[in-house]
Structure 1
Amino acid sequence: MESAPTIPWNTQLQERHAANMARAAFDNAIAAAKAEIPPIRKNRKVDFNSAKGRTTYEFEDLAEIVRTVDPILSRHGLSYRFRTHVSGQNVEVICILSHRDGHSEETSLPAQADNSGSKNAIQAVGSTLTYLQRYLLKAALGLAVSSDDDARAAAAHNPVQELTARQAAELRSLIQETATDEAKFLAHAGAQSVEEIDPRAFPRLQQMLLAKRRTMASAAPKTAAVEDAVVIEEVRK
C-alpha cells in the first residue's frame, strides 16, 4: 500500500519563508501608511435638545475616513473589505485588511440592530452596519486610540448626556451576572459610574458583557479575575 505523498521539507521551508516575508511586508506597509495618515477631520455634527438638555458633538463619518485613508493605503499596497453576518437583531461586521504580497488580517465587531428613532428593520440594520464599518476600519488601521475619542470628549463638554434608566439597569445587571469588576469596567469605559457612561458607548459595552456571558455559559467556570481580563481585553479591541 502506497503512503500518501508528503510535501518535501524544502517546500515547507519555502512556504514558511514566503509567509514570513509577506507578514513583514504587511507590517512595514501598515507602519508607513500610519505615518502618513493625517488626523481625520470630524465632518459631522450632532446637535439636539431633549428632556435631559442639549446634546452636541462632532464625529467623522465613514465617507470621510475612506476619503482620507484610501489614497495612502493604495500607495503602500494595502486594501480592505468588509464581510457581514446578520441574524435577526444581531449584526456582525468583519474588516479584512490585506497587502498585495498576500498577508491579511481580520478584525470583527458585533452589535445589535439600531432600532432608535423611527427606523424600519432595514434601516436599523443599515445604521448598525455603517457604525461598525466606521469603527472597525479605524481599529484595523490602529487609529482608534488617537481619533476615536469623540465619545469621551463629547461627554466632557456635554455632561447632560446620560444613559437611559433602562440602559444603566441592563449594564448593571450584566456586570453582576458576569461577576465583572465594576471599578475596572468603569475605568475602561471612561466613566465614574454606570449612569455617566456615554450613551454612544452603550452598544459596544453591552455586546462585550453579553459576549462574556455567552463564554461563561459555554465554558467551564473561571475565576472572577480571569473573567475580568477577558472583558477588558474585548473592550480594548
Structure 2
Amino acid sequence: MNEVIEAPSKAIAATPALAANSPMGMMLAAVQQGATLEQVEKMMDLQERWEKAEAKKAYDAAFANFKAEAVTIIKGRAVTDGPLKGKSYAELHDVVNAVTPALSKHGLSSSWKLTKDDKDWMEVTCYLRHVGGHEESVSMGGPPDTGGAKNAIQARASTKTYLERYTLKAITGLSEQGDDDDGRPPKAPKLITQVQLLRLQAVLSQCSPGAQKKFAAVWPDASQIPCDRVDAEIAALEGAAAKHKERMAAQAQE
C-alpha cells in the first residue's frame, strides 16, 4: 500500500502591496496585460521621476519641521586680543552641536566635501541629505588663510574650517545670535552680504585659475569686500568666466 506523504508547506513572506495608482503598480499591471518593452521603459522612467518628487516633498517637510525647532547658535569663542577684543563668535563645533540634534530628529544629516583643493584656492561643499533620498548642497571657496604667521598646513586648515562653518549655516538657513560677522564692530563700513558672497564665489569658481589667483591677490578675504564694490566685482568676474568658457570650448573643438 502506497502512503501519500504531503510535503510540509513553506511559509511565504508577505510582500508589500503596491498602490494601484503608483507608477510601479501601474507598470506591474501593464506587464501582466502584455505591455511592450518600450512601454515598460517609459513607465520605469515615470517611476523614477515620481520617486524623486516624493523624496523632494519629504525633504521639504522635514526641513520645515527642522526650522520650526528655532535652533540657537551660541557664540562660544571670545576674541582676546586685537581690534576685535571683547567680541565673540561661534566656532565650527558650536554650529555643529547646535544643529545636529534637530537635523537628526527630522531625518536630516549634513556633511562636507573638499570639492576644490588647488594651491591658491579651496572650495568646500556642504551637503544636506534626507533619509528619503533627496539632497541639496551649498559651495563656498576662498584662498588659504596665511594671516597670523601660519604655516602652509595651518593656512589651509583654517580656510577649510571657515568654509565648513559658513556653508553649514548657509544650507540650514541659520545665523548666530546677534550675528556680526565674527565680531566686526557695528560702525565698520557695510560689507558684502552672505547671499552676495555665495553668488560671487559661484561665479569665481567658473573663472580660470589665473583669474582666480588675480582676484585672491586683490581680495585675500572676499568677505571684506565693501557692499558698494560687490556689483562691479561680480560683473568683472562674469566677464572673465565667459571668456574662460569660450577658450575651453575652442580647445575642445581643436
Q: For this structure pair, what is the TM-score category when the shorter chain's length is used for normalisation?
A: 0.5 to 0.7
**Distance in 1, Cα, partners of 2:80 & 2:222:** 14
Match 2:150 to one of 98, 105, 119: 119
3-state secondary structure, aligned to 1:129: helix
One-letter code aligned to 1:124: A
Which residue number in structure 2 is paired with residue 202 of structure 1?
224
Tell me which moved more, 9-18 or 121-130.
9-18
Q: Determine whether 1:65 maps to 2:88.
A: no
The alpha-carbon distance between structure 1 residues 27 and 55, as it changes in their structure 2 partners (threshold 3 A), is same
Deviates most, 206-215 or 129-138: 206-215
What is the distance in 2 between the residues matched to 1:148 and 1:9?
53
Distance in structure 1 (CA, Å) of the matches to 2:172 and 2:178: 12
> For the residues of structure 2 that align with 1:14 and 1:128, how far apart are their CA atoms?
42
Q: Residues 120 and 107 of structure 1: is their aligned pair in 2 closer, same or farther, counting only changes over 3 Å?
A: same
The one-letter code matched in structure 2 to 1:45 is A
Change (3 A) 1:134 1:209: farther
Contact 2:143 2:159 in 1 (8 A): yes
> What are the within-5 Å matches in structure 2 for residues 97-116 of structure 1?
97-116=128-147
Contact 1:93 1:110 in 2 (8 A): yes
Q: Does the aligned pair in 1 maintain the 2:142–2:222 contact within 8 Å?
A: no
CA distance in 1, matches of 2:124, 2:154: 16
Q: 1:25 to 1:61 in 2, by over 3 A?
A: same
Looking at structure 2, the residues matched to 63 and 107 of structure 1 have their Cα atoms a distance apart, in angstroms, of 19
Determine the C-alpha separation between the residues in 2 that align with 1:204 and 1:102. 40
**Candidates 53, 57, 69, aligned match of 1:24:** 57
Equivalenced residue count is: 175
Distance 1:125 1:203 in 2: 21
Which residue of the partner structure matches residue 74 of structure 1? Answer: 104
- Per-residue CA distance 1:107-134 (angstroms, 9 max, x = gap): 0001111000110000000000000100
> What's the TM-score, normalizing by structure 1?
0.64
Q: Is the 8 A contact 1:114 1:127 kept in 2?
A: yes
CA distance, structure 2, for counterparts of residue 99 and residue 204 of structure 1: 37
- State the shift of 1:7 in Å: 5.8
Unaligned runs of 5+ in 1: 163-198, 221-237
Alpha-carbon distance in structure 2 between the residues aligned to 1:204 and 1:150: 15
Unaligned runs of 5+ in 2: 1-36, 190-220, 244-254
Tell me the CA shift for residue 151 of structure 1: 2.1
Moved more, 22-31 or 8-17: 8-17
CA deviations on 1:60-110 (whole Å, 9 max, x unpaired) are 111111111111111111111111021002010000111011100110001
| 2:111 counterpart of 1:89 | no
Superposition misfits of 4+ residues, deviation over 6 angstroms: 203-211
TM-score norm. by structure 2 comes to: 0.60
Structure with the higher helix share, 1 or 2? 1
SS at match of 1:72: helix
Percent identical: 34
